[in-house]
């Protein structure tokens, strides 16, 4: 696998197939990137599990923290690692003790460990490195274009305004999409006769 460039279909396939995500390094502090990613993915219907030994006894958006992946006690489809590169191999080693194994190990932006990726792939686990599932979801679902971000996808068609329950290009329902004043006004103006 070339971890320098991922095909959109590879990323799309992962985001469409996983249902549960354990986020290692999740933080309940609402200004941390892990908090934003956790909340965004939870709003898109993923079953999120916060993993951080420093926050056991607390909750993140109603989900109780667990100290480690082995404390989850049920199968998980994807492990999202929100730790620096130096801490990835121990997480992958812990992942490989789980039964059943998750389908995917995802390393957040700035996190990369080729030896850990090779080890996981040898066990049949898909790996994504140095990417954020929140950003990739937004890019592939066209949600990100409504925030004025270049999605690197050229099209002459304007992306539809994401609304509650709308079927997105990732074949998932939008739960929180379109919940901004600007998009609400645009949707209202579009439905009013001119």
Q: pLDDT by residue (tens digit) across 108-152?
A: 999 999 999 999 999 999 999 999 999 999 888 877 655 555 545
pLDDT digits (tens, 9 = 90+) for 27-71: 999 999 999 999 999 999 999 999 999 999 999 999 999 999 999
Q: Is the pLDDT of residue 193 over 80?
A: no
Name, in order, each residue with C-beta under 8 angstroms of 169's C-beta and a sequence gap of 6 or more: 12, 140, 141, 142
Q: Is the pLDDT of residue 94 over 70?
A: yes
Superfamily the domain 8-135 falls into: NAD(P)-binding Rossmann-like Domain (3.40.50.720)
Share of the chain above pLDDT 70, in %: 74
Distances (CA, A) of 117 to 31, 96, 98, 129: 29, 12, 16, 8
Both tokens of 61, joined, read: 């958006």
The pLDDT of residue 62 is 94
CB contact at 8 A, 174 and 162: yes
Q: Is the pLDDT of residue 186 over 80?
A: no
pTM of the model: 0.77
Mean pLDDT in residue range 100-107: 98
pLDDT tier at 10, thresholds 50, 70, 90: very high
Cα–Cα nearest to 32, from 86, 106, 83: 83
Q: Is the pLDDT of residue 191 over 90?
A: no
3-class secondary structure per residue, 32-70: CHHHHHHHHHHHCCCEEEEECHHHECEEECCEECECCHH
Average pLDDT in the chain: 84
The pLDDT of residue 178 is 41
3-class secondary-structure state, position 99: coil
The pLDDT of residue 165 is 59
CB contact at 8 A, 130 and 118: no
The pLDDT of residue 7 is 92
> d(Cα 16, Cα 112) in Å, to the nearest integer?
23
Q: Which residues of 50-79 are buried (b: 16+ CB within 10 A; e: fewer)?
A: bbbeebeeeebeebebbeebeebeeebbbb
pLDDT tier at 168, thresholds 50, 70, 90: low
Cα–Cα nearest to 15, from 125, 145, 133: 133
Strands 63-64 and 59-60: antiparallel
Virtual CA dihedral for 109, 115, 117, 122, nearest 10 degrees?
A: 180
Strands 47-51 and 104-107: unpaired
The pLDDT of residue 140 is 85
Mean pLDDT in residue range 68-82: 96
The pLDDT of residue 162 is 57
The pLDDT of residue 144 is 60
Residue spans per domain, the chain: 8-135
């Amino acid at each position: 696998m070339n971890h320098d460039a991922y095909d959109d279909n590879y990323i799309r396939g992962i985001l469409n197939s996983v249902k549960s995500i354990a986020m290692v390094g999740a933080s309940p502090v609402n200004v941390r990137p892990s908090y934003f990613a956790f909340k965004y993915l939870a709003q898109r219907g993923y079953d999120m599990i916060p993993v951080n030994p420093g926050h056991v006894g607390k909750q993140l958006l109603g989900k109780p923290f667990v100290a480690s992946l082995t404390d989850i006690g049920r199968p998980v489809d994807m492990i999202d690692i929100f730790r620096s590169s130096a801490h990835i191999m121990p997480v992958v080693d812990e992942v490989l003790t789980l039964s059943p194994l998750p389908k995917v190990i995802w390393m957040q932006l700035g996190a990369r460990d080729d030896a850990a990726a090779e080890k996981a792939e040898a066990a049949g686990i898909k790996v994504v490195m140095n990417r954020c599932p929140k950003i990739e979801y937004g890019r592939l679902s066209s949600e990100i274009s409504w925030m004025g971000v270049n999605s690197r996808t050229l099209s002459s068609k304007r992306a539809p305004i994401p609304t509650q329950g709308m079927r997105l290009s990732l074949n998932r329902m939008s739960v929180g999409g379109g919940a901004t004043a600007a998009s609400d006004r645009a949707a209202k103006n579009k439905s009013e006769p001119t």
